[in-house]
A and B are shown apart, each in its own frame.
Chain A
């Protein structure tokens, strides 16, 4: 069915192109429906932005609290004398390595 297949296919396409199509736009209201969808989308987007602004102070407070907590946790004096000495030594060695001293 090679050449025959091509011919049948071409004939089907040619006939299908002649078939009437119901692709005319509706008489009215289409533009209004498109604009309604756009406005709806815009309002939803605006609602998200409003909530993000409303929640911004809360996020700021949380960030400040976490920062303060982290800072306080770093400055707790260690009870372990050995780790306090070697920890300091490691930091010093690291600084020497990077500065090339």
Chain B
């Protein structure tokens, strides 16, 4: 993706979709769903939530298609929508579940195995539990920077925050994660 032919094909499909051709939009979904699923997969708790997030991303993209200016590739524009959709889901989850007390997070992590015995899946599960104690903004920034390995500039472009803001939030998130892990080590 990103090659001139792909960009032209996207632009043609966008024009067709704007003139009412639903099949053209279906083609756009087919071409870009892999990237959207990859983003949503970092934030969703299960496959069902992942599909919901991806559907919501494409529905929002359809609604805003007329505002797409074409000054950046379509997939970048779509990625921004996907990130914002995931961020909204994190905020909604936080509203529904409330603040997760540090004790609860620490308790779920207390039985973690020794570092050398950690498997990648277990590490992911530990981080996921620890990240439940972060704010949605911190969680978003730490996921994009540390797990997706995006640069500060890329995260700033995806979220619409300034680079300084991204750095500050990343710093706070790491500090909070360390505090959570320390708390569980003290148990």
Contact = CB atoms under 8 A, between A and B. Distances in A.
Interface residues of A, number: 31
B121 interface: yes
Contact of A12 (B37, B40, B126, B185): B126
Interface of A: 1-2, 5-6, 8-9, 11-13, 15-26, 30-35, 37-39, 41
Contacts of B54: 25, 30
Given A1-B182, A30-B54, A38-B22, A15 B41 contact: no
B115 interface: yes
A30 B121 CA distance: 27
Contacts of B29: 30-31, 34
B147 A9 contact: no
A2 B121 CA distance: 25
Contact of B123 (A19, A30, A31, A32): A19
B92 interface: no
Contacts of A22: 41, 47
Contacts of B122: 15
Interface in B112-164: 115, 118-124, 126-127, 146-147, 149
Contact of B59 (A8, A18, A23, A34): A34
A5 B178 contact: yes
